[in-house]
Amino acid sequence: MADTSELHGVGIGRGLTFGPVLRMPEPLPEPLDIPSALGPDVEKEHATAALASTAALIRLRGERAGGTAKDVLEAQAFMAEDPTLSDDIVARIDTGKTAERAVFEAFANFRDLLLGMGGYMSERATDLDDVSQRVVAQLRGVPVPGVPDPDYRFVLFARDLAPADTALLDLDKVIALVTSDGGPTSHTAILAREKSIVAIVGAAGAMDTPDDSVVIVDAAAGLVTVAPSEEQLEAVAAEIDQRAAQVPVPVGPGALADGTSVPLLANLGSAEGAAEAVELGAEGVGLFRTEFLFLDSTKAPTVEEQQKHYTKLLAAFPGKKVVVRALDAGADKPLSFLNAAAEENPALGLRGLRALRANEQILRDQLQALANAAADTEAELWVMAPMVSTVEETRYFTRVAREAGLQTAGVMVEVPSSALLADRILADADFASIGTNDLTQYTLAADRLLGSVAAFQDPWHPAVLRLVGEVGRAGRTLGKPVGVCGEAAADPLLAVVLVGLGVTSLSMSPAALAGVRAELTRYTLAQAQEFAVIALAANGANEARAAVLAAASPSNTNPKEKVE
Ligand code: PEP
Ligand code: MG
């Protein structure tokens, strides 16, 4: 057996599992445009055979997967059999190209055509890329890129995953996810959390781990143990059994040990997750990321198209608060219809509210669609603007929202300037919601997507907490609600600290609700405030976490005593 070794990264959640590794293959390089050495007849034969076997393999996958995946894969198989495409491939081979190059060019051409059509057709462009890669892989005799699909359960190792890859992961097969790139607030991490996948991101060197190595993935410790000993495996298996046997805190409203109410809300990216969120006890929605609905769109969505999505979402939360964020385009979530210009530093560019303001009609259409949806449903709709950095922007957004007939308009505090001037911002906004993912990125000057600086992306950092405290204080003084909807709210102990800093509600991936709900019940408001003081006094994130952990350990706390 190989020697045991370790990889360190940032854990998402607290899951623990073990299994064999499979690495995500690198995308194939573009085939060179060199003249064929085999001649057109042989190239055509190869191309035809590769297209046919690709179609057959995709169909087989579909049959094995069943359900909606079967329909999706059937449609992909048809792409590989499309006569227009094969005619184009043949024509290109006749000009002297290799089969690989002809396939690559013909698919790319078709892809551009689909993209030009917009809407549903443009969304198929990614599927077409996948088929193209599969055919080229067949021709080269190399494994097909994309999430591996073996007959057994495995731990997926990847550099990073596209949101589409993460969204389509077969959770019966992928038992854990380890990426070498990406920070804890990258959208891969967010989707992993949403799907309750045991995950570790930013684990440098992960892609050097050979396929089929056995690994233990311990998200709480941010540790991957490669080639563990029998004893280590037995201990982990026992721990997994013990966790499965634990009785969860009953689903109910979030509250501290002394009864202080802390509403627990859901972060959602589409209305599809609403039913599950309600089942897991979400008391409403604290962040609906509208840009996730339109990541593949090339044209701005119409009012009608948006209204359908929003009505579906609001209808799932009658009588409950639903906070919808206006499109947050740019940096890690570019929308082609809002972020046209290439920017050197997109995270510092025309993103969030700045991009919406530069395309005001898109903002007005979205607010109109929301107002229409709210009129048709019973939910209490709140709207907020992303990436607000000035008082003037706050006034702009709240005015435009009110002009659209929306009653409650707030801002996200994701930029240090907004936190520092929270008293002025909250004088105009009805509420603030702190986006700790971006707030940490901007406070520590560390790109949230970059594995090499992932260690800086830690919301336990006292500089971030001090900013949160500024907003909490302003909210208390002005009597305005202050939520947190960044990933910090999903860290159970940090959630308690945030409440101690004056945060009045917490919003997170539904999968995190149970852990946070249970942790809140362990401490009183006085204790939460004490933890906040302890964390603020630390010099760094690790020190803050360790100090609060020590103060929160059972030997140091007795909530009952403090309540009575
Ligand atoms: C955040 O920045 O904390 C946030 C909630 O927004 P997003 O992660 O979508 O940028
Ligand atoms: Mg953000």
* 59 & 15 share domain: no
For atom 4 of ligand 1, the residue with the nearest CA is 435
* 205 & 338 share domain: no
* 183 & 299 share domain: no
Instruction: Compute, in angstroms, the gap from residue 486 CA to the centroid of ligand 1.
Output: 5
In this structure, are residues 271 and 313 in contact, taking their beta carbons and an 8 Å threshold?
Answer: yes
In a domain, 224, yes or no: yes
**Between vectors from CA 485 to CA 484 and to CA 491, what angle results, nearest 5°?**
80
- Count: domains in the chain: 3
CA atoms of 47 and 83, how far apart (whole Å): 13
The pLDDT assigned to 126 comes to 67
The pLDDT assigned to 400 comes to 98
The pLDDT assigned to 339 comes to 81
Instruction: Compute, in angstroms, the gap from residue 435 CA to the centroid of ligand 1.
Output: 5
Tokens 């940032």 locate to 10
* Position in ligand 1 atom list of the atom nearest CA 287: 5
CA atoms of 410 and 158, how far apart (whole Å): 38
* 303 & 359 share domain: yes
pLDDT confidence band for 170 (50 / 70 / 90): confident
- The mean per-residue pLDDT over the stretch 7-17 comes to 83
CATH number for position 410: 3.20.20.60
* 81 & 157 share domain: no
pLDDT at 118 over 80: no
* 173 & 62 share domain: no
pLDDT at 560 over 90: no
Looking at 178, 210, 245, the residue that finishes a domain is 245
The pLDDT assigned to 162 comes to 61
Please give the structure tokens belonging to residue 333: 């979530």
Using a 6 Å cutoff on CB, does residue 437 contact ligand 1?
Answer: yes
Using a 6 Å cutoff on CB, does residue 373 contact ligand 1?
Answer: no
CA atoms of 412 and 353, how far apart (whole Å): 10
CA 123 to chain centre: 19
Q: Determine which helix (DSSP H) or strand (DSSP E) holds 437, and give its type and residue range.
A: helix 436-444
Half-sphere exposure of 22 (CA within 13 A, CB side): 19
In a domain, 252, yes or no: no
* 131 & 152 share domain: no
* 436 & 292 share domain: yes
**Between vectors from CA 214 to CA 208 and to CA 215, what angle results, nearest 5°?**
75
Question: Percent helix, strand and coil across the chain, each rounded to 5?
Answer: 50, 15, 35
pTM of the predicted model, to two decimals? 0.70
Instruction: Compute, in angstroms, the gap from residue 68 CA to the centroid of ligand 1.
Output: 30
Task: Report which residue type is found at 351.
Answer: R
For atom 6 of ligand 1, the residue with the nearest CA is 435
Using a 6 Å cutoff on CB, does residue 291 contact ligand 1?
Answer: no
Instruction: Compute, in angstroms, the gap from residue 439 CA to the centroid of ligand 2.
Output: 8
Please give the structure tokens belonging to residue 340: 């046209």
In a domain, 251, yes or no: no
For atom 1 of ligand 1, the residue with the nearest CA is 435
Using a 6 Å cutoff on CB, does residue 289 contact ligand 1?
Answer: yes
For atom 9 of ligand 1, the residue with the nearest CA is 289
Looking at 140, 174, 203, the residue that finishes a domain is 140
In this structure, are residues 354 and 386 in contact, taking their beta carbons and an 8 Å threshold?
Answer: no
Active site residues: 187, 485
CA atoms of 311 and 315, how far apart (whole Å): 6
CATH number for position 49: 1.10.274.10
pLDDT at 399 over 80: yes
- The mean per-residue pLDDT over the stretch 147-151 comes to 87
* 361 & 240 share domain: no
In a domain, 254, yes or no: no
In a domain, 258, yes or no: no
Expressed as residue numbers, the domain containing 111 is 40-140
Tokens 């990436």 locate to 387
* 315 & 414 share domain: yes
Q: What is the pLDDT of residues 202-212, one digit of tens each?
A: 888 999 999 99
Q: What is the pLDDT of residues 67-91, one digit of tens each?
A: 656 776 788 889 899 999 999 999 9
Three-state DSSP class for 502? coil
Q: What is the pLDDT of residues 234-256, one digit of tens each?
A: 999 998 988 787 777 789 999 99
Find all residues with CB under 8 Å of 315, minimum gap 6, and list them: 377, 378, 379
Alpha helices in 11-167 (DSSP H): 40-65, 67-80, 83-94, 99-117, 119-123, 125-140, 163-167
**Between vectors from CA 95 to CA 91 and to CA 100, what angle results, nearest 5°?**
75
| DSSP secondary structure code for residue 486 in this structure | S
pLDDT confidence band for 219 (50 / 70 / 90): confident
CATH number for position 154: 3.50.30.10
Give the Å distances, CA to CA, from 183 to 159, 255, 319, 332. Answer: 11, 30, 36, 12
In a domain, 433, yes or no: yes
| DSSP secondary structure code for residue 451 in this structure | G
* Position in ligand 1 atom list of the atom nearest CA 386: 6
pLDDT at 562 over 60: no
Using a 6 Å cutoff on CB, does residue 435 contact ligand 1?
Answer: yes
Instruction: Compute, in angstroms, the gap from residue 256 CA to the centroid of ligand 2.
Output: 27
- Taking alpha carbons only, the member of 297, 348, 284 closest to residue 327 is 297
* 184 & 68 share domain: no
In a domain, 35, yes or no: no
pLDDT confidence band for 27 (50 / 70 / 90): confident
The pLDDT assigned to 120 comes to 55
The pLDDT assigned to 176 comes to 94
Sign of CA dihedral 520, 455, 509, 412: positive
CA 339 to chain centre: 20
Give the Å distances, CA to CA, from 206 to 161, 209, 385. Answer: 14, 6, 37
% of the chain beyond a pLDDT of 70 = 91
**Average pLDDT taken over every residue of the chain:** 89
The pLDDT assigned to 191 comes to 66
* 216 & 95 share domain: no
In a domain, 257, yes or no: no
Using a 6 Å cutoff on CB, does residue 105 contact ligand 1?
Answer: no
Looking at 186, 213, 245, the residue that finishes a domain is 245
